[in-house]
């Protein structure tokens, strides 16, 4: 991983770590960014170790390779390396193989990303290194697996599961948070995601502008941080909608923030799965998502798909339909679809132990 912050993959790993039998299986983390991660203290409290290696973009690929090789050369205690860095698996796993790590897992968490021509060349090079150097291929969806491993490749789907009971709709929590944020009488449209190109915030602002023109009490609640946050804040000012937007920052309490929302909107340009859409359904929220969100995320009747080439007005029309939606528990649907973290943690625990 790059850093253990409040992201989708990082949160999945922490959910697994909390629920796996840590007397039998321990997770350690090799990260490539120096700042302390949001989850670092908890990792240490659970018995894990965090190792930091300066990123390739900072020290150059040669020194980065030497640092990774040096790490595995001096840490022969590991039975398994599980790489969650998509195409970079083709970089890490050959080094792990060279140093005698017997179980080497490449795990895909993204599908059909909109990379530049140059980035596609580089990532294509690393992807070609995976087959000869991994022992197992995992993916969060069929689209994610096909993107990283190829359409004809065999891989195992590992659901991006959640702690389902945390997300149960709670009227008390909803009321408390709506009062805290001053949105008690508002129609709250929510989004959770990093401020980057993938999450398509510019389009989301256009959709919200359409809604606000018809529903003055509407409010856009944005959770997350990222390199494009300032740009999106500026766009909101230009559209004259900034007074109707709350930029809530990052949070470890996503399960609570989902309670205060009325509709969850997710217009991503691409997704490996979109774990936050699973979480939103678990919270009983109607979800309006783009047609790039894989079918594996459609596990309840709460999801409505919209094409990205439909107009912001069309998206707005659909969202407004849910202004007075009555929420109910979808816990059984989530568990039946295989997205409960207890079952996934047990599966991976058995997988790891089978090679020890």
Model pLDDT, residue 34: 81
324 found inside a domain: yes
- Nearest Cα neighbor of 308 from 293, 287, 298 is 293
- Residue 259 CB coordination number (10 Å): 23
- Give the residues across from 29 on adjacent strands: 50
- Residue 223 CB coordination number (10 Å): 22
1 found inside a domain: no
Model pLDDT, residue 113: 81
| Residues 129 and 190 grouped into a single domain | no
| Residues 117 and 222 grouped into a single domain | no
**Domain of 32?**
8-161+340-353
Using CA atoms, how far apart are residues 141 and 146, in angstroms rounded to an integer?
9
Average pLDDT for residues 288-307, to the nearest whole number? 96
Average pLDDT for residues 328-335, to the nearest whole number? 91
- Angle among Cα 54, 60, 64 to the nearest 5 degrees reads 50
Check which CATH number belongs to the domain holding 72 and give it.
Answer: 3.40.50.2000
Average pLDDT for residues 68-75, to the nearest whole number? 96
Q: Is pLDDT at 55 greater than 80 in this prediction?
A: yes
DSSP assignment letter at 198: G
Q: How confident is the model at residue 1 (pLDDT cuts 50, 70, 90)?
A: confident
| Residues 55 and 135 grouped into a single domain | yes
| Residues 117 and 214 grouped into a single domain | no
Q: Is pLDDT at 222 greater than 80 in this prediction?
A: yes
Question: Do the beta carbons of residue 281 and residue 334 sit within 8 Å?
Answer: yes
2 found inside a domain: no
- Give the residues across from 220 on adjacent strands: 189, 245
Using CA atoms, how far apart are residues 275 and 109, in angstroms rounded to an integer?
10
Q: How confident is the model at residue 354 (pLDDT cuts 50, 70, 90)?
A: very high
Using CA atoms, how far apart are residues 99 and 111, in angstroms rounded to an integer?
30
Q: How confident is the model at residue 318 (pLDDT cuts 50, 70, 90)?
A: very high
Model pLDDT, residue 8: 86
Average pLDDT for residues 6-27, to the nearest whole number? 94
Model pLDDT, residue 114: 77
- Nearest Cα neighbor of 194 from 143, 253, 251, 258 is 251
Average pLDDT for residues 187-194, to the nearest whole number? 97
Model pLDDT, residue 115: 76
Model pLDDT, residue 174: 96
Q: How confident is the model at residue 14 (pLDDT cuts 50, 70, 90)?
A: very high
pTM equals: 0.87
* Burial grade of 60 (CB within 10 A; 0-12, 13-18, 19 or more): exposed
| Residues 195 and 330 grouped into a single domain | yes
Question: Do the beta carbons of residue 260 and residue 183 sit within 8 Å?
Answer: yes
Using CA atoms, how far apart are residues 24 and 21, in angstroms rounded to an integer?
6
Model pLDDT, residue 198: 94
Q: How confident is the model at residue 259 (pLDDT cuts 50, 70, 90)?
A: very high
| Residues 89 and 201 grouped into a single domain | no
Average per-residue pLDDT for the chain? 95
| Residues 121 and 152 grouped into a single domain | yes
31 found inside a domain: yes
Average pLDDT for residues 302-331, to the nearest whole number? 96
Strand order in the sheet with 103-108: 80-83, 103-108, 136-139, 156-157
3 found inside a domain: no
Q: How confident is the model at residue 117 (pLDDT cuts 50, 70, 90)?
A: confident
Question: Do the beta carbons of residue 137 and residue 145 sit within 8 Å?
Answer: yes
Using CA atoms, how far apart are residues 131 and 207, in angstroms rounded to an integer?
42
Model pLDDT, residue 116: 80
Using CA atoms, how far apart are residues 99 and 319, in angstroms rounded to an integer?
53
| Residues 28 and 103 grouped into a single domain | yes
| Residues 277 and 134 grouped into a single domain | no
Q: How confident is the model at residue 181 (pLDDT cuts 50, 70, 90)?
A: very high
Model pLDDT, residue 239: 97
- Nearest Cα neighbor of 46 from 257, 345, 356, 353 is 345
Model pLDDT, residue 334: 92
| Residues 332 and 219 grouped into a single domain | yes
- Tally of domains within the chain: 2
Average pLDDT for residues 184-208, to the nearest whole number? 97
Q: Is pLDDT at 190 greater than 80 in this prediction?
A: yes
Q: β-pairing, 263-266 with 245-249?
A: unpaired
Model pLDDT, residue 119: 82
3-state secondary structure of 310: coil
Instruction: Give Cβ neighbours of residue 241 (< 8 Å, ≥ 6 apart).
Output: 205, 208, 209, 212, 220
């Amino acid at each position: 991983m790059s850093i253990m912050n409040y992201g989708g993959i990082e949160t999945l790993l922490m959910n697994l770590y909390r629920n796996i039998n840590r007397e039998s299986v321990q997770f350690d983390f090799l990260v490539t960014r120096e700042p302390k991660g949001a989850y670092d203290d908890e990792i240490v409290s659970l018995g894990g170790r965090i190792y930091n290696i300066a990123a390739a973009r900072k020290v150059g690929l040669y020194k980065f390779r030497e640092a990774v090789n040096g790490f595995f050369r001096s840490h022969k205690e590991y039975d398994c390396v599980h790489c969650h860095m998509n195409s970079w698996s083709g970089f890490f796993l050959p080094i792990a193989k060279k140093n005698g790590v017997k179980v080497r897992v490449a795990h895909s968490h993204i599908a059909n990303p909109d990379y530049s021509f140059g980035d596609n060349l580089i990532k294509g090079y690393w992807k070609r290194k995976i087959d000869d150097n991994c022992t197992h291929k995992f993916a969060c969806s069929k689209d994610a697996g096909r993107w990283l491993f190829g359409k004809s490749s065999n891989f195992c789907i590992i659901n991006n599961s959640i702690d389902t009971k945390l997300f149960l709709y709670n009227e008390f929590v909803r009321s408390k948070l709506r009062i805290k944020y001053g949105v008690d009488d508002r129609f709250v449209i929510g989004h959770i995601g990093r401020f980057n190109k993938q999450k398509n915030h510019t389009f989301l602002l256009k959709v919200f502008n359409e809604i606000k023109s018809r529903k003055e009490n509407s409010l856009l609640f944005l959770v997350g941080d990222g390199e494009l946050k300032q740009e999106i804040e500026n766009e909101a000012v230009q559209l004259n909608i900034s007074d109707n937007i709350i930029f809530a920052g990052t949070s470890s309490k996503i399960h609570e923030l989902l309670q205060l929302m009325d509709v969850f909107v997710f217009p991503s340009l691409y997704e490996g799965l979109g774990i936050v859409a699973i979480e939103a359904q678990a919270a009983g929220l109607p979800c309006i998502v783009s047609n790039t969100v894989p079918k594996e995320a459609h596990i309840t009747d709460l999801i409505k798909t919209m094409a990205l080439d439909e107009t912001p007005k069309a998206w707005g029309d659909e969202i407004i339909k849910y202004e007075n939606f009555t929420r109910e528990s979808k816990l059984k649907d989530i568990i039946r679809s295989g997205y409960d973290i207890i079952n996934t943690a047990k599966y991976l625990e058995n997988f790891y132990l089978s090679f020890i």
